[in-house]
Amino acid sequence: MAHERAKDGLAPRLTRRQFAAAASALLFADWVAGAEDASKSPPIGPRVGPLRARDVLNVRDFEPLARAALPPAHFGYLATGIDDDLTVRRNEQAFGDYEIRARRFVDLSHTNTGITLFGAHWRSPVYLSAVSSMRAFHPEGEAAVARAAATRSAQMMVSTGSSVSLEQMVKLRSAPVWQQLYPTDDWAITQALVQRAEAAGANAIVLTVDSTATAGARNSETLRRAAQTDSRHCPACHVGNRHDMWLRAPLFSGLDVTRVRGLAPPALTLEWLDRLRHIVRGKLFVKGVVTGEDAQAAVAHGADAVIVSNHGGRNEETLRATIDCVPEVVQAVKGRVPVLMDGGVRRGTDVYKAIALGASAVGIGRPQGWGLAAFGQEGVEAVLDIYARELEAIMRQAGTPSIGAIGARAVLHRDRA
Ligand code: GLV
């Protein structure tokens, strides 16, 4: 997935960093001009120097910077949903339907965003969820993400499609990672992937259950539209124009993938889950659950955690936001295993709301890609820092100085109150 800048139609003598900084500075000037028009506020002084990752004010602001830094097809790959991308947007918007009930008369001399999960201490409930093929966003790809995860002590879930080997990621992160699993439709490959991941130091296998469609079946219109505007010649970077994950991702290297036709078995049933449970020696998480029924079934069949996710709205246009699915999953699981969630989390208040509704931890996907594309490792670090800062601020403001203090009464759904 790595691409050469000179072939992108971008000025070849600029480095990625310089290009991103220049593009960012232009956007920043636009925002400032827009703000002046709207508010008639006094002029803001000229900016000195290019925009740095730590100057970006919030997580969403990394998206236009990433767009400016990336070739259209690669940005389209990150941005795309299905059909009209309405579920991608619902994931984000639905957080706005929840209100925080801020409490007073609380001792706020110490705030602590830390949690203990699966026996490990985390500084923050925010983890880096799986995002595939990150060398499409930055030449260092997942290696830069792993270094950012290490400096910020963030838990990482490595994608099956990672463009950097799992062994290297474990080394750079210097802590166990979770391996997301697309099992494919060939059981021999499923077994080999699990064995390889566990041998390399993954302490959890995260089975994705929301991607049963065969390769190319999902209607990723935004990606296809973006690709049509991208004049680059794909085979120049994608050896043999191979876009199928099993033909390019290091996790598959050396395996005989000639029988693989898709990322998941056509019958991903509970019997199949039992079979997988039997070969996973460590923890097995099930990711992609959006109903209480499936959460209950996953736990009954051995899941050590359930992850509420609709794949960032990338697989089916359900119009159902994951934050709205969290309560029914939490209720069905009844505390037997942790419930995690991802999808549309863009603010510390979103993390707070997910915790209040019963999630133990919250994953972020696209924002990693945005930060990485715009600024490399520093961008991912800045994204994590913003979540941490915003989460701590709302915890203090809402009178909940620890994660454990964020109870079910900390939020209300505005239509269901
Ligand atoms: C990979 O998981 C993707 O959604 O493209």
Minimal-distance CA residue to ligand 1 atom 2: 132
If you take atom 5 of ligand 1, which residue's CA is the nearest one? 132
Residue 2 lies in a domain: no
Q: Residue 394 C-alpha to ligand 1 middle, in angstroms?
A: 32
Whole-number Å distance between alpha carbons of 288 and 174: 27
**Sequence-separated (6 or more) residues with CB below 8 Å from residue 347:** 58, 59, 95, 387, 390
Question: Residues of 389-405 as b/e, b for ≥16 C-beta within 10 angstroms?
Answer: ebbbebbeebbbbebeb
Choice from 88, 214, 314, 316 to test ligand 1 binding pocket (greatest atom count within 8 A of CB): 314
Measured in Å, residue 56 CA sits from the centre of ligand 1 at: 27
Distance CA 268, CA 76 (A): 29
Question: Which residue type, as a one-letter code, is found at position 368?
Answer: Q
Atom of ligand 1 nearest to the CA of 77: 5
Token pair listed for 5: 């800048």
> Best mutation site among 157, 211, 218, 315 for ligand 1, i.e. most ligand atoms within 8 A of its Cβ?
211
Q: How far is CA 33 from CA 20, 27, 41, 56, 96, in A?
A: 20, 10, 10, 17, 27
Report the atom number in ligand 1 closest to the C-alpha of 315: 4
Which positions are catalytic?
311
Q: What is the distance in A from the centroid of ligand 1 to the CA of 121?
A: 29
How many A from CA of 342 to the centre of ligand 1? 14
Ligand 1: centre distance to CA 222 (Å): 14
Q: Which two tokens stand for residue 6?
A: 């000179």
Q: Is 166 a member of any domain? A: yes
Per-residue pLDDT tens, the chain, 417 aa: give them.
444 333 333 333 344 544 444 444 444 344 334 444 444 444 444 556 689 999 999 999 999 999 999 999 999 999 999 999 999 999 999 999 999 999 999 999 999 999 999 999 999 999 999 999 999 999 999 999 999 999 999 999 999 999 999 999 999 999 999 999 999 999 999 999 999 999 999 999 999 999 976 666 799 999 999 999 998 887 767 877 778 899 999 999 999 999 999 999 999 999 999 999 999 999 999 999 999 999 999 999 999 999 999 999 999 999 999 999 999 999 999 999 999 999 999 999 999 999 999 999 999 999 999 999 999 999 999 999 999 999 999 999 999 999 999 999 999 999 987
Q: Does a structural domain hold residue 309?
A: yes
- Helix and strand element counts for the chain (H, E): 15, 12
**How far does residue 43's CA lie from ligand 1's centre (Å)?**
44
Token pair in block for residue 292 = 């209480």
Helices of type H across 40-185: 62-69, 72-79, 86-93, 142-151, 166-173
pLDDT of residue 233: 83
Determine, yes or no, domain membership for 325: yes
| Residue 7: both structure tokens together | 């072939």
User: What is each CA distance from 295 to 94, 160, 183, in whole angstroms?
Assistant: 21, 23, 19
Closest residue (by CA) to atom 3 of ligand 1?
Answer: 132
Beta strand extents in 101-240 (DSSP E only): 115-117, 120-122, 126-128, 157-158, 177-181, 202-208
Residue nearest to atom 1 of ligand 1 (CA): 132
- Does residue 13 belong to any structural domain of this protein? no
First to last CA, the chain: 48
Separation of 132 CA from ligand 1 center, angstroms? 6
Q: Which domain holds residue 366?
A: 97-413
Q: Give the total number of structural domains in the chain.
A: 1
Q: Do the domain assignments include residue 9? A: no
Residues with CB under 6 A from ligand 1: 132, 161, 311, 314
Please return the burial class of 22, using the count of CB atoms within 10 Å of its CB with bins 0-12, 13-18 and 19+.
middle
Name residues whose C-beta falls within 8 Å of residue 119's C-beta, 6 or more positions apart in sequence.
none
pLDDT for 48 equals 60
Q: Which CATH number characterizes residue 373's domain?
A: 3.20.20.70
| Residue 65 within any structural domain of the chain | no
Closest-CA residue, ligand 1 atom 4, reads 314
Own/partner long-range contacts of 402-405 (Cβ < 8 Å, ≥24 apart):
402/111, 402/112, 403/112, 403/113, 403/114, 403/115, 403/125, 403/355
Residue 5: Cβ within 10 Å count? 16
